[in-house]
Structure 1
Amino acid sequence: MRFLSRIGIDLYMLVLLATIAAGLMLPARDLAAEVLKDVTFWAVALLFFIYGAKLDPSAVRAGLLNWRLQGLSLAATYVLFPLLGLLLVALFGPLLGATAVLGLLFLAVLPSTVNSSIAFTSIAGGNVPGAICAASVSNLLGVVLTPALVALLLVQGQGGVGLDAVVRIGTQILLPFILGQLALPFIGGFIKRHKLVTMVVDRGSILLIVYSAFSAGTVSGLWSTVSGVDLALLFGVVWVFLALVMALVGAAGRGLKLPSADRTALFYCGSTKSLASGLPIATALFAAEQVGAIVLPLMIYHMSQLLVCAVLSQKQAQRQAEIGAA
């Protein structure tokens, strides 16, 4: 476990992989699947209620004063990523197939991570307050921007987002989030003090969504259509996506001569994508039997980014320690 932790794999990631395996080998069927669907719906609603009750608007306002860091982070998340996604779809779309293309486009318009990007920024000695603000604003905007950008990109002939998906987004994500913001003065302190409760809801919701998505894919026979060659190609395209984003975001920070601490925050906030936000949004946007395949690129990207960022942040911390010692 110590070795796995050093390369970015923790117990939760192992549980996540076990949950995927359970969805593939022991899927929920019939009544159990219906119950799971309802439980997952309310778990996602509770998750976004807690997101709303945790996000302090004053912290966001304070961080926005660093306009270059915040502007570049948002541009990386909601401009650079979608453009690269469209480029990769144009290059590899015919080889990947329609569902994988949907997954790549969905990945491209998601907000950045919160906990991971802040943690890696802290380890690497970056601007932690700036990272907190950048990640928070990204996720706040993502509640609205991600569904809107999905609808815009899917006009390209890959499908569309119907009225029922808009209603689900409103009732399952936006409404709970707004209610959480309204309840923040009353329960915000309680939620911040009881981090274990919020962690159980956060991670438990993700596990429910993952099991439900992969279970539905198994029951529908979706996975029988995904060959080893297709999966290998998808891994390759996602890794190219990750490498391109990290190279371009890093180059932007250096080219615009940001302070070192801001470059670090930009790198980790601008090159990561949120599994915690992406999975709930996917359940509201797409049919249950499609979700597993659509979020597969996100799952690959998320786990890959954790491994790469863990290694890079540790190396950066070691370099800073050596400079300090000298």
Structure 2
Amino acid sequence: MRRVDPFIVAIITAFVVGLLWPAPDGVREGIAVAGDILVAILFFLYGLRLRTSEVLAGLTNVKVQGLIFVSTYVVFPLVGLALHPLLTPILGDGFSNGFLFLAFLPSTIQSSVTFTSIARGDTAAAVCAATFSNVIGMFLTPLYVLVFMNIEGAHAGSITTVLTQLLLPFVIGQILQVWLGNWIRKYPKPLKVYDQGTVVVIVLSAVLDSTAANTWDGVTPLQIAVIILMSALLLAGILAFTWYSSGWLKIDRGGRIAVLMCGSKKSLATGLPMAQAIFPASIIGPIAVPVIIFHQIQLFVCAMIASRMGREELPATT
């Protein structure tokens, strides 16, 4: 009998704790700050352990970068636009608009890169693609909302967090990897534990915040069931598209994993602040629910996929 993956158990536990624990504001703020620090260190470690040649190869991999962009900002929005009129009679305007907003969001950075690393994919390509997705998403997402959802007052947001919390530590790590890279690469297991632990803290922080904001109030079991079902189907479709299209383009295994993990994600950390900036306060709750549910499903599913891929035997190279 296969042993249960502790990583999956930890994510589920964090989600349940976040739902049931009415954490005080100070505790939630402390966990959020801890998460920010862990993420900054995480990207410093990515910079430290990745050779600069690998980063440049990932950045210039046109097939990988292009396919991730197409999945995030072309395929996802088209599917969202197709589903919107079908979901509105079932879920109502609020939740159906939430699905459409979800389709316009950028990819995650932390979990996309972390899962790519766990699955032994092209982490350098994932860092470049996920970071670019978030930077361009600060402008594309509000534009999509303005054009397709007829919402006035779209705001482009700020890229300060992306630059200071993610890119800057990564660049510092890249500079120092000339001296420390060989040493840090000797400890893959502790690095993997740190990767996974960071994701667990991010999940806990996100669910605690949504619980404190009463996001789940007034949601019926039928609506939740439909949202979960549609989220699972949407994720399955995008996972299939990213994996098989990257194979059709003859991208290598590492690149396919980066496409799979980056092209299938939507960012809760970016999405909720964007929703707060774009929409009236009275409709943020219903719009946020599909984003939150899809985010948790993508973490559960991709964590299992990454864990399984990480245990697979790599094909022999000649």
TM-score for the superposition, normalised by structure 2: 0.70
What is the number of residues matched between the two proteins? 296
Task: Provide the rounded CA distance (Å) in 2 between the counterparts of 1:216 and 1:63.
Answer: 34
Sort the Cα spacing of 1:86 and 1:270 in 2 relative to 1 into closer, same or farther, 3 A: farther
- Indicate whether 1:149 and 2:140 are aligned: yes
SS in 2 for 1:224: coil
Residue 54 of structure 1 aligns to a residue whose secondary structure is helix
Instruction: Confirm or deny that 1:176 pairs with 2:176.
Output: no
Pairwise mapping of residues 165-204 of structure 1 onto structure 2 (< 5 A)?
A: 166-167=157-158, 169-170=159-160, 172-185=161-174, 187-188=176-177, 189=180, 192=184, 202-204=195-197
- Between 18-27 and 188-197, report the one with greater CA deviation: 188-197
Q: 1:224/1:63 Cα in 2 relative to 1: closer, same or farther (>3 Å)?
A: closer
Note if contact 2:116-2:257 (Cα within 8 Å) is conserved in structure 1.
Answer: yes
Partner of 1:114: 113
Larger deviation: 273-282 or 95-104? Answer: 273-282
Match for residue 261 of structure 2 among 252, 272, 280? 272
Q: CA deviation at 1:284?
A: 4.6
Question: Within 2, Cα distance between the matches of 1:46 and 1:277?
Answer: 20
Task: Answer yes or no: is 1:11 the counterpart of 2:6.
Answer: yes
Cα shift readout 1:227-282 (whole Å, capped 9, x = no counterpart): 221121112212221232244345534655x2xxx265565333435899934434
Provide, for residues 288-308 of structure 1, a one-character-per-residue CA deviation record: whole Å limited to 9, x for no partner.
995676322121133234446
Q: 1:158 to 1:226 in 2, by over 3 A?
A: farther
Mark the CA change 1:100 to 1:304 in structure 2 (over 3 Å): closer, same or farther: farther
| 1:47 to 2:39 alignment | yes
Change (3 A) 1:110 1:253: closer
Correspondence for 1:236 among 225, 229, 241? 229
Paired position in structure 1 for 2:90? 95
Amino acid at match of 1:116: F
Which ranges of structure 1 fall in alignment gaps of 5 or more residues?
A: 5-9, 123-127, 322-326
Name the amino acid aligned to 2:10. V
Distance of 2:203 and 2:305 partners within structure 1: 23
Partner of 2:78: 83
Secondary structure class of the residue paired with 1:295: helix
Confirm whether residue 296 of structure 1 aligns to residue 293 of structure 2.
yes
- In structure 2, stretches of 5+ residues that fail to align are none
Aligned to 2:130, which of 125, 139, 161?
Answer: 139
Structure with bigger helix share is: 1
Cα distance change, pair 49–87 in 1 and its aligned pair in 2 (3 A): farther
Output the TM-score relative to the length of structure 1.
Answer: 0.69
**C-alpha contact (below 8 Å) 1:100/1:294 kept by paired residues:** no
Distance 1:215 1:111, change over 3 A: closer
| Corresponding residue for residue 241 of structure 2 | 248
1:213 aligns with 2:211: no
Distance 1:161 1:187 in 2: 43
RMSD, aligned CA:
4.2
Q: Quick one: which amino acid aligns to residue 238 of structure 1?
A: S
Following the alignment from structure 1 to structure 2, what is the Cα–Cα distance between the partners of residues 144 and 297? 21
Instruction: Tell me, yes or no, if the aligned pair for 1:246 and 1:271 is still in contact at 8 Å.
Output: yes
Q: 1:148 to 1:308 in 2, by over 3 A?
A: same
Q: What letter corresponds to residue 8 of structure 2 in structure 1?
A: M
